[in-house]
Amino acid sequence: MREFIVEADGGSRGNPGPAGYGSVVVDAATGETLAERAEYIGVATNNVAEYRGLVAGLEAARDLDATARVRVRMDSKLVVEQMSGRWKIKHPDMKPLAARAAGVLPASQVTYEWIPRERNKHADRLANEAMDAGKRGEAWSPSASTAESTARSAAPAPTGPPGDAAAGAAKARAALAGTRAAAPREERGGPRDQPATGATSLSGGEAAEATAGEAPRQGRGELGDQPVAGGSRPAAPGGTPSSGGEAAIPAAGKADDDKRAARNVASDRTTTPAAGWSAPPDMGAPATFVLLRHGETPLTPQKRFSGSGGSDPSLSDAGREQAERVAAALAARGTIQAIVASPLARTRQTAGVVAARLGLDVVVEDGLRETDFGAWEGLTFGEVRERHPDDLNAWLASPEAEPTGGGESFAATAHRMAATRDKLIASYAGRTVLLVTHVTPIKTLVRLALGAPPESLFRMELSAASLSAVAYYADGNASVRLFNDTSHLR
């Protein structure tokens, strides 16, 4: 069965005002653009234009192959949530458009995904072309469209704070490409020697483990005694351990390190790959952060916003029991060398239980605090939706948006966590450290290590008193070793 990606967008210059939509159908297997649709629709709202773009994209996909699976991607959180059935459709203008979209293809063939605006540039450009044409009194012309070429040229190179996987992978691929171009032909190897797309410096054995997805499970030594799966070759001797290396190594030196790593990969792939979990010994032990979410508070089972700007609740009886269980599990593993905790009561209490069991002191680090959720503190998601719907929609749509009342955006949290990560890596190089913190800080550290987009925060489940782990190597690479392990609570 074929699979299409439909990207759709709509806009209104005035809301309501002169409006238009754009949509594009892409072959999911090849990335080829198969169809473009755009139209000026007169005076309308943004939401109406977005729904019109959705309908046009679905109809274009149906015309290509009525049996194909379709993944719809839009930067309108409203349309995605409503068409997914998670939000009710209350506006009378939206109901017939949603019904029309739902009737184009069987529901079993269509899925919906929200993407940030910068990843929807092709459809956005088509919508603007349609509005421009309408302003001139003309119809949009496919032959005159430059939307596809403009969107491709505008695609940004991966960037991010030191240690982010997206930026590191891009640099490694560029260095590797330059090395292979300069290498003698007999050293290059055949097609099977090429690195996997998007992977950074995987040796043969490590690549097999990463591809198989064999993340350590159920607490079998995964916190401090296993080398990285997917780690890069070592940087030059004498490099200062840091989260990403870029902050501590001069630019010229870092470029040389990237090229040296690429040469090592190219040469390693012509030899017998390392077996099992073996790793080069000269990179040194990583700084391993074992990430413990605090135990339950009275607000946890009620699913209320509980950040750093609220009532600072203490652990409940269930939360204290969870802390005791995780302390016993960590004592049995015997790998924790230091404990650092957020300053909030629930994390300090959880850390205190573990510290008493392990015979360690607790260091308080303000950078590990939870996000400040402003006026949403203590409210459920449903209550926030009723009281502050526009602010909530903006917050769901953009990591730059702040909660009502001047809370902290996810972008600000990410900036704070990157700085805290770098500080702790420098302080605990080569050691295994327990960080007792909260949902958003843990998800953010994992997101940054994986190079995942900001919206991935909404797609991770992190239970109270769960354990996760990330290892940070001296060459700037990170390896997520464990996520949301709750085996000790069962």
What are 236-277's pLDDT values in tens digits?
Answer: 333 333 333 333 333 344 344 444 444 443 333 333 333 333
Share of the chain above pLDDT 70, in %: 73
More confident of the two residues 15 and 12 = 12
Rounding to the nearest 10 degrees, give the CA dihedral for residues 141, 142, 148, 150.
-30
Q: What is the pLDDT of residue 49?
A: 96
Q: What is the pLDDT of residue 274?
A: 37
Rounding to the nearest 10 degrees, give the CA dihedral for residues 343, 347, 349, 355.
-100
What is the Cα–Cα distance from 277 to 137, expressed in whole angstroms?
66
> Comparing C-alpha atoms, which of 343, 345, 349, 339 is closest to residue 369?
343
pTM of the entire predicted model: 0.48
SS3 call for 322: helix
Is residue 438 within 8 A of residue 347, CB to CB? The reply is: yes
More confident of the two residues 356 and 178 = 356
pLDDT category, 93, cuts 50, 70, 90?
confident
Q: State which H helix or E strand residue 443 sits in.
A: helix 439-450
Place of tokens 């998601």: 381
Q: What is the pLDDT of residue 153?
A: 63
More confident of the two residues 101 and 214 = 101
Chain Cα centroid distance, residue 252: 29
> Comparing C-alpha atoms, which of 225, 201, 279 is closest to residue 477?
201
Is 81 catalytic? The answer is no
What is the DSSP secondary structure assignment for residue 313, as one 8-state letter? P
Neighbours of 329 (CB within 10 A): 19
- Asked if omega into 16 is within 30° of 0 (cis), the reply is yes
Q: Tell me the mean pLDDT in the region 41-47.
A: 95
What is the Cα–Cα distance from 232 to 473, expressed in whole angstroms?
9
With 0-12 CB in 10 A as exposed, 13-18 as middle and 19+ as buried, what is 332?
Answer: exposed
More confident of the two residues 218 and 259 = 259
Q: What is the pLDDT of residue 154?
A: 59
Which one of the listed residues 122, 294, 388, 438 is annotated catalytic? 294
Structure tokens at 423: 């500080």
- N residues, the chain: 490
pLDDT single digits (tens) 98-151: 999 999 999 999 999 888 888 899 999 999 999 999 999 999 999 999 988 887
What is the Cα–Cα distance from 272 to 328, expressed in whole angstroms?
42
Cα-flanking dihedrals φ and ψ of residue 333, to 5°? -75, -35
pLDDT category, 91, cuts 50, 70, 90?
confident
Rounding to the nearest 10 degrees, give the CA dihedral for residues 311, 317, 320, 322.
-110
Structure tokens at 169: 């992978």
Which one of the listed residues 36, 39, 370, 408 is annotated catalytic? 370
CA angle 198, 204, 208 (to 5 degrees): 70
Q: What are the start-end ranges of the H helices in 281-438?
A: 317-333, 345-358, 381-387, 389-397, 410-427
- 175: pLDDT strictly greater than 60: no
What is the Cα–Cα distance from 351 to 435, expressed in whole angstroms?
9
Lowest average pLDDT, out of 29-33, 334-338, 396-400, 471-475, goes to 29-33
Cα-flanking dihedrals φ and ψ of residue 440, to 5°? -65, -45
The two counts, helices (H) then strands (E), for the chain are: 14, 11
- 88: pLDDT strictly greater than 80: yes
pLDDT single digits (tens) 437-469: 999 999 999 999 999 999 999 999 999 999 999
- 199: pLDDT strictly greater than 50: no
What is the Cα–Cα distance from 97 to 282, expressed in whole angstroms?
61
What is the Cα–Cα distance from 47 to 15, expressed in whole angstroms?
9
Q: What is the pLDDT of residue 150?
A: 80
What is the DSSP secondary structure assignment for residue 344, as one 8-state letter? S
What are the residues whose beta carbons fall under 8 Å from the beta carbon of 53, sequence distance 6 or more?
Answer: 8, 9, 10, 21, 22, 23, 37, 74, 123, 127
What is the Cα–Cα distance from 202 to 280, expressed in whole angstroms?
12
What is the Cα–Cα distance from 212 to 429, expressed in whole angstroms?
29
Q: What is the pLDDT of residue 20?
A: 97
SS3 call for 182: helix
More confident of the two residues 12 and 476 = 12
Is 294 catalytic? The answer is yes
> Comparing C-alpha atoms, which of 43, 39, 47 is closest to residue 17?
43
CA angle 368, 298, 462 (to 5 degrees): 50
pLDDT single digits (tens) 286-317: 899 999 999 999 999 999 999 998 889 999 99
Q: What is the pLDDT of residue 440?
A: 96
- 357: pLDDT strictly greater than 60: yes
Q: DSSP states of 204-256 as a string?
A: HHHHHHHHHT----TTSSTTTS---TTPPPP--TTPPP-SSSTTTS-HHHHHH
Q: Tell me the mean pLDDT in the region 375-402.
A: 94
